[in-house]
Amino acid sequence: MRWLDKRYHSLNYELRKTFGEKIFKLSLDGGFTCPNRDGKIGFKGCIFCSDKGSGEYASDKNLSIKDQIESQINLLKDKWSHGKYIAYFQNFTNTYAPVDILRKKYEDAISCKNVVGLAIATRADCLDDNVIDLLEELSKKTYLWVEIGIQTIHDKSGKFLRRGYNFSLFEEKVKKLREKNINIITHLIIGIPNETKKMIFESIDKISKMDIQGVKLHLLHIIKGTDLEKYYLESKFKLLEKEEYIHLICDILERLNPNIVIHRMTGDGSKDTLLEPWWSLDKRSVLNAIDKELKKRNSYQGKYFKS
């Protein structure tokens, strides 16, 4: 089974199918915080989260949304002189504010020239009914998806990560979002300490049978200055090696529902902030190796998926 030149259902394939051309994401900082940082449920954030709220590549939050978009487009101009864009609210929790503030920021983004879509990263505990109603309103104006970083279906692992809520809440919010026909992308971390391959596959199998439209598969990587760095230096838990990760991702793809779009397949730390594993910095090499391994297996996404 093939999606253009890939053996998995890539985001590039899905966006080209939808828009008829290549689409670029523009990473924005909406100036939000997180209930896991402002004291509502905690002060330290998730154990892996940096002081940038997992938005190392986002624009300057001191700029307006429109200025951030213009700045990001200018950065792309040398390589791509023209294009269409999805405004991606990435840092921290991008539905954690009053609805009128959210509406203003989102509307500013989708009003910009050549912005054809909106992506919003958030948490399951920051999706009340008023926010969901706003998202439904926006989904009728533009191409929209909502990202929820569940990381794992296992609540014991979620507690270690300091996620702050149980998987059952995620299931509840998925149901409510899908009742409004809102597309959902979930994040899963591969390599969480004390998670076995069986546990990883349980997360994949569960997500595959839910009404989920996309997934980001993240290699667990250690960012300097995080509590995960402290835990790693103290415990020296084993990180995944490159070949081990490549084989595991191929195993995951074979089990994954072929209708689910793959938004990411590796970690994304920057050279300045990454502690380990350094092999993850060569993202192209990792993705090429996954392609080669799938070809070697004569395999593809969903080969062993059972509906």
99-151 pLDDT, tens digit per residue, is 999 999 999 999 999 999 999 999 999 999 999 999 999 999 999 999 999 99
Q: Which residue has the tokens 């026909």?
A: 181
Dist CA 247 CA 25 (whole Å): 28
Torsional sign, CA 6, 11, 15, 21: negative
In-domain check, residue 4: no
Question: What is the model's pLDDT at position 107?
Answer: 97
The CATH number given to whatever domain includes residue 36 is 3.20.20.70
In-domain check, residue 303: no
Question: What is the model's pLDDT at position 238?
Answer: 95
| pLDDT level of residue 69 (50, 70, 90 thresholds) | very high
β strands within the chain, DSSP E: 23-28, 84-89, 115-122, 143-151, 183-190, 214-219, 222-223, 261-264, 274-276
In-domain check, residue 282: yes
> What total of structural domains would you count in the chain?
1
In-domain check, residue 305: no
In-domain check, residue 302: no
Q: Which domain holds residue 240?
A: 11-297
Helix H segments across 147-269? 155-161, 167-179, 197-208, 227-235, 242-255
pLDDT reading at 57 higher than 60: no
Mean pLDDT across 24-34: 95
The model's pTM is 0.94
In-domain check, residue 270: yes
In-domain check, residue 307: no
Mean pLDDT across 45-73: 80
In-domain check, residue 188: yes
Residues in the chain: 307
Question: What is the model's pLDDT at position 55?
Answer: 46
